[in-house]
Amino acid sequence: MVRSVAIITISDSCFKDNSKDTSGPILLEIINKKFPEANIHSIIVPDEKEIIERELKYFSRSNIDLVLTTGGTGLSPRDVTPEATKAVIQREVPAIPVAMTMSSLQKTPMAMLSRAVAGIRDKTLIINFPGSKKAVVECYDVVSSVLSHAITLINNELEEVRNVHDKMQSNHVCPHNKVSNVDISKVALRPRESPFPMLEMPEAFNIVDAVMLQWVEGIEILPLYECIGRVVAQDLISKEPMPPFPASVKDGYACLSYDGAGVRTVRAAVTAGETPATPLATGECARVNTGAPIPLGADCVVQVEDTKLIKASEDHQTELEVEILVAPQPHQDVRPIGQDIPSGSLIVKKGDVISAAQIGILAGAGYKEVPVLTYPKVGVMSTGNELQEPTDSNLRPSHIRDSNRTMLKALLNEHGYSSVDCGIARDEPGELARALAAALARVDLLVCTGGVSMGERDLLKPVLINDFNATIHFGRVRMKPGKPSTFATCQVRGKTKFIFALPGNPVSAYVCGQLFAVRALRACTRRTGGFARMGVRLERAHRLDPRPEYARAQLQFPALDELPVATMLGNQCSSRLLSACGASVLLELPGATEDVKELAAGTIVPALIIGRIDNLSTL
Ligand code: AMP
Ligand code: MG
């Protein structure tokens, strides 16, 4: 058990430039959450070897279980944290920095430049973390699962060591054998208040964005047609010019502009797709249609409307002479080679999200497949003893059909993400642990619903914590619907798994599925998590809830210079999914205050665009 932790932020800039921008507060927040019972110390010192040594010795003398340093592990002359640490530790634990480096190297080669050290002085475990905020979060995630056990071992707490070993023996890697450490037999002992702090929405979004940075994308090559909405992994260059030959822009006659106006002999006819057989000479022209190649010798096209037929064959099958009524300009109505896209030019930039227009350009340039960034594998799971498959023909007494799973799969699909169906898990610790283990073995990001509130069978959070050693980044958010929304990560075979455990009420699942799961996927696949926001006017007065509310609404567009009017979709209670049908925006309504309890009709409120914007009045 970790009873006391010291965080030492090592940073010259805090002293020289008075900078407050360090990784210390993030580490402090993580440790506070992970070990809420522990005594936590946090200090900031400059990059001075003697001072760092002095503080490490001080905390070890004070019997602090765990000292985490952040900063000063790099290559600059002032980076001396590893030297100070080596000078004080009595036994090194080299595999800890090795594990951190191995994991960080998957994300950035810069990890090679960290010289972090870990070791033990007396009964204190000391670990160096790098100084960047992102690296601290990542490195902590790598070591988090062994910290408690390491400290138990250092302190020779035999009983506890045996317990952990027993647990590990029973926790086979195989998901089918997984058992749970959660005991639900003593219902009277369950907490009556949620132990999770209530976060404000912006805080929750920041956490999701920061944690999703841990997603490490790969590259896959997909057939062109499947690339819509995907992020291109490398610059794509045109391999051929477009057009590949000088092409006519009009239906008319290819001529020599130098000949001016007047009568021409019609020498040939070229339609699109044919190659002109003979070059033109002065006084000649060739009949061409749009997209046809211009014969050699010609330098312009005169549209058919600016010509007059002078002479035709007797059977009218051949034009022999035409008069050019308006003297043409050189290059008139000719698209030269490469006018649209020159050969070798950049047609799609690395990082672009491929649109239908770009698919057209790539198809035109002969690309059959495209390297794109991989998406996380997403899974959708429902939890609840009352749930039946939606396809079951008979509904058993006291049961309901599982609508969330199908709805969430469709919602993800709407945003371009396919998902794996991870079924229904019952509200039994062992069954839930097995279902989660099986799901997490298959996917990178799991969206599940149900079981996150305060009910005696709401087991998601305890099972994640006790059976998966998960970090719960948040377990309660001040929002309506969706207060018990939970976001967690855990490690499975060295990979970070992301879990959004959403409340089971269908509207909560829908709204939180958008605001958390879809947003997180957008953040790590398109680098633009947030939805676009616009101002809209409330059609009717609305009584505010104490919590900020996300109300489903449709829009009506009155006139070009007026804001759209938002119509809420009926009773907004969280079990009534009809209130989300046809919603194109979520209105961000503030929580009620002493002064403002209601918003009048016509009030301008922000609206998040979550769906296709259709004009309500034309529906
Ligand atoms: P819970 O979040 O598990 O407390 O569930 C809250 C409410 O949502 C209960 O009325 C559940 O029956 C309902 N519910 C939970 N999961 C689903 C689901 N997958 N489909 C439809 N309703 C559900
Ligand atoms: Mg439930």
Measure the CA–CA gap between 553 and 245, rounded to whole angstroms: 52
Q: Which two tokens stand for residue 466?
A: 């006790």
Q: Ligand 1 atom 14: the closest Cα is on which residue? A: 504
Looking at all shown ligands, the one closest to residue 450's CA atom is: 1
Look at residue 166 in the predicted model and tell me its pLDDT.
57
Atom of ligand 1 nearest to the CA of 484: 2
The whole-number pLDDT of residue 160 equals: 65
pLDDT at 174: 63
Nearest residue (CA) to ligand 1, atom 3: 450
184-215+376-526 shares the fold of 4-163: yes
CA atoms of 492 and 118, how far apart (whole Å): 23
Please give the Cα distance from 433 to 70 (Å, whole number): 34
- What are residue 383's DSSP bridge partners? 425
Instruction: Judge if the beta carbon of residue 387 lies within 6 A of ligand 1.
Output: yes
Which amino acid would we find at residue 607? A
Distance 247 CA to ligand 1 centre (A): 63
The per-residue pLDDT for 200 is 96
Domains in the chain: boundaries: 4-163, 184-215+376-526, 231-241+340-370, 247-335, 533-609
Q: Which residues surround ligand 2, an ion (CB under 5 A)?
A: 384, 450-451, 504
CATH code of the domain occupying 247-335: 2.170.190.11
Read off the tokens for 1.
């058990």
Question: Alpha helices of 296-371 — where are they, by DSSP H?
Answer: 356-364
Yes or no: say if 301 and 252 are a contact pair by the CB < 8 Å rule.
yes
Q: What is the DSSP letter of 18?
A: -
Taking alpha carbons only, the member of 116, 62, 120 closest to residue 89 is 120
Question: What pLDDT is recorded for position 14?
Answer: 74
The alpha-helical segments, DSSP class H, found in 17-62 are 24-34, 49-61
| pLDDT number for residue 163 | 65
Residues 4-163: name the CATH superfamily. Answer: MoaB/Mog-like domain (3.40.980.10)
- Over the chain (619 residues), the average pLDDT of each successive run of 10 is 91 75 86 87 92 94 94 95 97 95 89 94 96 90 91 82 59 67 82 89 94 92 94 94 95 96 95 91 96 95 97 95 96 95 94 95 94 96 97 94 97 95 96 96 97 91 95 96 97 93 96 97 84 95 96 90 90 76 92 96 96 68
Per-residue pLDDT, 215: 93
Rounded CA-CA distance 112/101 in Å is: 7
Nearest CA among 395, 462, 468, 403 for reference residue 436: 468
Q: Note the ligand closest to the C-alpha atom of 503.
A: 1
Q: Render pLDDT for 518-564 as a digit per residue (tens, 0 to 9).
A: 999 999 988 677 899 999 999 999 999 999 999 999 999 988 889 99
Cβ(504) – ligand 1 distance below 6 Å: yes
Q: Which ligand is nearest to the CA of 512?
A: 1
Q: What residue's CA is closest to ligand 1, atom 10?
A: 505
Written as six digits, the tokens of 562 are: 């007026």
Mutate to test the pocket of ligand 1, among 396, 400, 432 (most ligand atoms within 8 A of CB): 400
What CA–CA distance (Å, rounded) separates 583 from 550? 11
Cis bond upstream, residue 46 (ω within 30) = no
Ligand 1 atom at minimal distance to the Cα of residue 382: 19
Atom of ligand 1 nearest to the CA of 505: 8
Question: Which of 381, 400, 402, 257 shows the shortest CA–CA distance to 330?
Answer: 257
Token couple for 557: 């567009």
Cα(355) to centroid(ligand 1), Å:
37
Ligand number, closest to the Cα atom of 454: 1
Cβ–ligand 1 contact at 505 (below 6 Å): yes
> Looking up tokens 């822009």, which residue turns up?
249
- If you measure from the C-alpha of residue 612 to the centroid of ligand 1, how many angstroms do you get, rounded to a whole number? 27
Ligand 1 lined by 564 (C-beta under 6 Å): no
Q: 80 vs 69, 93, 212, CA distance in Å?
A: 12, 18, 31
Residue 173: per-residue pLDDT: 45
* Most informative mutation of 505, 511, 576, 578 for ligand 1 (most atoms within 8 A of CB): 505
- Counting ligands in written order, the one closest to the CA of 402 is 1
390 Cβ inside 6 Å of ligand 1: no
Whose C-alpha lies nearest to ligand 1, atom 23? Answer: 504
Gap between the Cα atoms of 428 and 95, Å rounded: 37
Report the DSSP beta bridge partners of residue 70.
9, 129
Look at the domain 533-609 and name its fold: Beta-clip (2.40.340)
Rounded Cα–Cα distance for residues 607 and 550 (Å): 9
Which residue's CA is minimally distant from atom 17 of ligand 1?
504
Rounded to whole angstroms, how far apart are CA atoms 440 and 144? 18
Which 3 state secondary structure label does DSSP give 269?
strand
Cβ of 469 below 6 Å from ligand 1: no
* E strands in 274-416: 284-288, 300-303, 307-312, 319-324, 334-335, 346-348, 369-373, 378-383, 387-388, 400-401
| Atom of ligand 1 minimally distant from the CA of 403 | 20
455 lines ligand 1 (CB under 6 A): yes
449 Cβ below 6 A of ligand 1: yes
Closest CA to 404 of 334, 500, 340, 288: 500
Query: E strands within 15-151?
Result: 39-45, 66-70, 91-92, 118-121, 124-129
Among protein residues, the one whose CA lies closest to atom 16 of ligand 1? 504
Considering the segment(s) 184-215+376-526 as one domain, its CATH architecture is: 3-Layer(aba) Sandwich (3.40)
Beta carbon of 486 within 6 Å of any ligand 1 atom: no
* DSSP-derived secondary structure letter, 98: H
